[in-house]
A and B are shown apart, each in its own frame.
Chain A
Amino acid sequence: MLAKRIIPCLDVRGGKVVKGVQFKNHEIVGDIVPLAARYAEEGADELVFYDITASVDARTVDKSWVSRVAEQLDIPFCVAGGIKTVDDAAQILADGADKISINSPALADPNLINRLNDRFGRQCVVVGIDSWFDADSGHYRVKQYTGCESSIQEAGWHTEDWVEEVQHRGAGEIVLNVMNQDGVRGGYDISQLAMIRKRCSVPLIASGGAGTMEHFAEVFKQAEVDGALAASVFHKQIIAIPKLKQYLQQQQVEIRL
């Protein structure tokens, strides 16, 4: 059986790993390569590196660290942030990343998903979606340019429609960041993830809100996601990955120990 994946997310800014609360007030948590190596050692199933300022600053990720990570790491990793062209992606994959993830550039130019799929195959193409629950209308809405507070915009899509669109265009995996929950550690948005799961035939990764080990068990069992991504609980050592994986195994979640 395929194991559920535990995916630490390392937000990168200026070559350092940072963490903010609800996408703002970033603080430095460490250097990229040692943190990546530590998580791999502890049993992380995969890592995601987000250059969180890249889309906002209209530049691509600083690529110099990608090959240093690839040299160290013996688990898969994905790079995200400001990848706007097939050439941007080609360089990052050539440097040793396994997947690239696009978010705001896919909203600005949805055909980018098709072009990446044609060139590299579906398995390399991850689409990240920042979804916000709009309590007034009762709809889940997609946001873009979420790297800093002042730049956030409505993308003009209901989340479920965008999820279907990106799969149709060739996304091989979807990471759903539930922004209301991000960094506040109150649990994943199970009802939203379960709703999206029904519309998602590619792997679905939950992101945003993990605070306790129970939150991980809930999201795997109730929303049936393929992986759970989290940042602060790992960076701040609130949850240790080996303990989390033992706990999930006790909860009858298929997990790689």
Chain B
Amino acid sequence: MTVIIDTGCANFASVQFALKRLGCNAQISADPATILSADRLILPGVGSAQAAMQKFTERGISELLPQIEQPLLGICLGMQLLGEFSQEGNTALPGLLPVQTERLHANGQPLPHMGWNRIGNFDHPLFSGINHGDYVYFVHSYAVPVGELTIAQSNYGQPFSAAIGRDNLLGVQFHPERSSAVGARILKNFLEISL
């Protein structure tokens, strides 16, 4: 069973529909027992880091996250929430991964960074079958700088982490559920990955 963690601050329908197109009927849940017994977990997120952390606290998700041992994919804000700290509202985060989220330095280009951008510099099974330079869909103003846990990069005024990962915890800054065939392949890879 794949479970989409009901954070109360995300657009679940599009993720659930994308998985359904791949033949995966994912369940949306905030129940700790359901989450901890899932085969795979997806942590979606939209909105601000502060609002999300408030929901996490209300729902006990912050305490739950360190117990997760199965493969987990954070999407967009859901990826950033795996880290320790976000500059967005100077928010302390659960800290499952030693990364921080900073405001994008877009070098005079419009923000949010919204639209289709190229990904590259990856060598991880999550990107199996994807070509360097393929486009995926991004919508964000904050990002994780390139560092040790970066498993794919993109560039908008500066290079940033398009994806991060360590052991069972993966995160993508873009929206695979809205990234056409490329995104579908990345989601399929996640459903089949062994970590």
Residues of A that sit less than 8 Å from B by CB: 1-5, 40, 45-46, 67, 70-71, 74-76, 93-96, 98, 119-124, 172-173, 200-204, 226-227, 256
CA distance in complex: A46, B155 (Å): 21
- Chain A residues near B20: list those with CB within 8 A: 71
- Chain A residues near B184: list those with CB within 8 A: 74
- Chain B residues near A74: list those with CB within 8 A: 18, 21, 177-181, 183-184
The listed residue (B13, B109, B117, B181) touching A3 by CB distance below 8 A is B117
Interface size class of B (residues with CB under 8 A): 35 or more
A120 x B46 contact (CB < 8 A): yes
Whether, in the assembled complex, B1 has its beta carbon less than 8 Å from a beta carbon of chain A, the answer is: no
Whether, in the assembled complex, B24 has its beta carbon less than 8 Å from a beta carbon of chain A, the answer is: no
Residues of B that sit less than 8 Å from A by CB: 11-14, 17-18, 20-21, 46-48, 109-118, 135, 137, 139-141, 155-156, 175, 177-181, 183-184
- Chain B residues near A2: list those with CB within 8 A: 109, 113, 115-117, 156
A174 nearest in chain B by CB position = B110
A201 x B110 contact (CB < 8 A): yes
Tell me the smallest distance from the CB of A144 to a CB of chain B, in Å.
25
CA distance in complex: A95, B46 (Å): 14
Tell me the smallest distance from the CB of B136 to a CB of chain A, in Å.
10
A123 x B110 contact (CB < 8 A): no
Q: A1-B117, A120-B47, A226-B110 are in contact. Are A75 and B137 (CB under 8 A)?
A: yes
A121 x B47 contact (CB < 8 A): yes
Known interface pairs A2-B115, A76-B178, A96-B14; 5 further A-B residue pairs with C-beta atoms within 8 A, sorted by A's residue number: A1-B118, A74-B178, A98-B139, A123-B46, A226-B114
- Chain B residues near A1: list those with CB within 8 A: 117-118, 155
A-B contact pairs, 13 of them (CB 8 A): A1-B155, A2-B109, A3-B116, A3-B135, A45-B115, A76-B175, A98-B175, A120-B47, A121-B47, A122-B141, A173-B114, A202-B110, A227-B115
CA distance in complex: A37, B164 (Å): 32
B179 x A123 contact (CB < 8 A): no
CA distance in complex: A71, B18 (Å): 7
B114 x A203 contact (CB < 8 A): yes
A76 x B137 contact (CB < 8 A): yes
Tell me the smallest distance from the CB of B92 to a CB of chain A, in Å.
19
The listed residue (B46, B115, B118, B178) touching A5 by CB distance below 8 A is B115
B113 x A94 contact (CB < 8 A): no
CA distance in complex: A200, B109 (Å): 10
Ranked nearest first, the 3 interchain pairs of A and B with the lowest CB-CB distance are A96-B13, A256-B135, A121-B47
CA distance in complex: A31, B24 (Å): 28
Q: A74-B181, A227-B115 are in contact. Are A93 and B11 (CB under 8 A)?
A: yes
CA distance in complex: A46, B175 (Å): 13
Tell me the smallest distance from the CB of B49 to a CB of chain A, in Å.
10
- Chain B residues near A204: list those with CB within 8 A: 110
B154 nearest in chain A by CB position = A2
A96 x B46 contact (CB < 8 A): no
- Chain B residues near A75: list those with CB within 8 A: 137, 178-180
A123 x B13 contact (CB < 8 A): no
